[in-house]
């Protein structure tokens, strides 16, 4: 039985909240250190890490380059979140929410920022006219699934992932609660993919976004939870995830900035994405 907690009338932080990420969490925003971000030579400057949200963007960049969009060259700068790089003044200027990924688009006369992974995907897809349906019905379907991913990720990561893998103590109630939700999400995908190859018409940014989270979960790369969640039973999700995982551009995108696919020392902290072949 969990300890009973009676919330106070006004909550106040009393020490660290425990867990692997305790030192990062505060109830306030803003920079904690004055430090500028590095800037490379390519049109896009990406400040990120090889987590699922970061992988969405590097996969799309690699897909754009593979499709012949030379203007999509980018510099990938690794943001070490455990070293609190996301709380430097330079990073906060690009993303005031202090979360990766963050992007500076320097392809025009005036550089500008784009933050939140879904916004970056949509910005790049629209800029290059790629991986985005032109048919109004399919575009609406694709956008619906992209927003679905953005809404479900906190329940998968901050909910299930936190309480199952990262919390300082394991309690049955939150694990059961979020396990049911994640399995429901996988079932939503499995039923949808039973009658179609991709999420909305052809391969799109919706597939990229969902693959980074649910696809990799299905492939056993998230939270060491494949057996616990019985991911193998979602056969349509398995087929879809394996097909996307086999794409060369996806394999390259997964290697950027220290993802689970990375071989230690194989990729410099700063690089041109074209060098990943």
DSSP string, 165-225: IISSS--HHHHHHHHHHHHHHHHHHHHHGGG-SSSSSSS-HHHHHHIIIIIHHHTT-STT-
pLDDT < 70 regions, the chain: 1-2, 18-19, 22, 259-277
Q: Could you tell me the pTM of the whole model?
A: 0.91
Q: What Å distances lie between residue 125 and 132, 160, 205, 276, CA to CA?
A: 6, 30, 7, 21
SS3 content of the chain, % helix, strand, coil (to 5): 50, 10, 40
Strand partners of residue 78: 48
Q: Which residues contact 38 (CB under 8 A, 6 or more apart)?
A: 77, 270
Q: What Å distances lie between residue 80 and 50, 77, 261, 262, 263, CA to CA?
A: 10, 10, 17, 15, 17
Topology adopted by domain 136-247: Glutathione S-transferase Yfyf (Class Pi); Chain A, domain 2 (1.20.1050)
pLDDT at residue 14 in the model? 82
pLDDT at residue 25 in the model? 84
Tokens representing residue 196 in the block: 């179609």
Closest to 166 (Cα-Cα) out of 14, 23, 54 = 23
Q: In what order do the strands lie in the sheet with 74-78?
A: 74-78, 44-48, 102-105, 112-115
Strand partners of residue 75: 45, 272
pLDDT at residue 2 in the model? 58
pLDDT at residue 18 in the model? 67
Q: What Å distances lie between residue 203 and 52, 60, 168, 207, 210, CA to CA?
A: 18, 11, 39, 6, 12
| Tokens 């990943």, residue located | 276
Q: Read off φ and ψ for residue 191, nearest 5 degrees.
A: -70, -40
Q: Which residues contact 52 (CB under 8 A, 6 or more apart)?
A: 153, 157, 212, 213, 216, 222
Tokens representing residue 62 in the block: 């690699």
pLDDT at residue 3 in the model? 72
pLDDT at residue 140 in the model? 98
* Rounded CA separation 65/74 (Å): 10
Is residue 15 left, alpha or beta, with left meaning phi > 0 and alpha meaning psi from -120 to 50?
A: left
Cβ count within 10 A of residue 208:
29
- 155 exposure class (CB count in 10 Å sphere: 0-12, 13-18, 19+): middle
Say if strands 112-115 and 44-48 run parallel, antiparallel, or are unpaired. unpaired
């Amino acid at each position: 039985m969990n300890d009973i907690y009676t919330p106070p009338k006004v909550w106040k932080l009393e020490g660290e909240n425990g867990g692997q990420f305790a030192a990062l969490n505060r109830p306030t925003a803003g920079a904690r250190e004055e430090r500028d971000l590095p800037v490379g030579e390519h049109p896009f400057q990406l400040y990120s890490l090889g987590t699922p949200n970061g992988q969405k963007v590097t996969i799309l960049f690699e897909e754009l380059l593979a499709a012949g969009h030379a203007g999509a060259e980018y510099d990938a700068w690794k943001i070490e979140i455990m070293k609190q790089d996301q709380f430097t003044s330079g990073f906060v200027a690009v993303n005031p929410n202090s979360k990766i990924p963050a992007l500076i688009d320097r392809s025009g006369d005036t550089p500008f920022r784009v933050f939140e992974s879904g916004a970056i995907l949509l910005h790049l897809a629209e800029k290059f006219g790629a991986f985005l349906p032109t048919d109004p019905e399919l575009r609406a379907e694709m956008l619906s699934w992209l927003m679905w991913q953005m809404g479900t990720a906190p329940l998968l990561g901050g909910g299930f992932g936190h309480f199952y893998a990262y919390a300082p103590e394991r309690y049955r109630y939150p694990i059961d609660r979020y396990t049911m939700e994640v399995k429901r999400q996988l079932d939503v995908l499995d039923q949808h993919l039973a009658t179609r190859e991709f999420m909305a018409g052809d391969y799109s940014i919706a597939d990229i976004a969902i693959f980074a989270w649910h696809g990799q979960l299905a492939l056993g790369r998230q939270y060491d939870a494949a057996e616990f969640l019985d991911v193998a039973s979602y056969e349509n999700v398995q087929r879809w995830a394996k097909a996307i995982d086999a794409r060369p551009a996806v394999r390259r995108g997964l290697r950027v900035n220290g993802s689970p696919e990375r071989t230690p020392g194989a990729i410099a902290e700063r690089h041109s994405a074209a060098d990943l072949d």
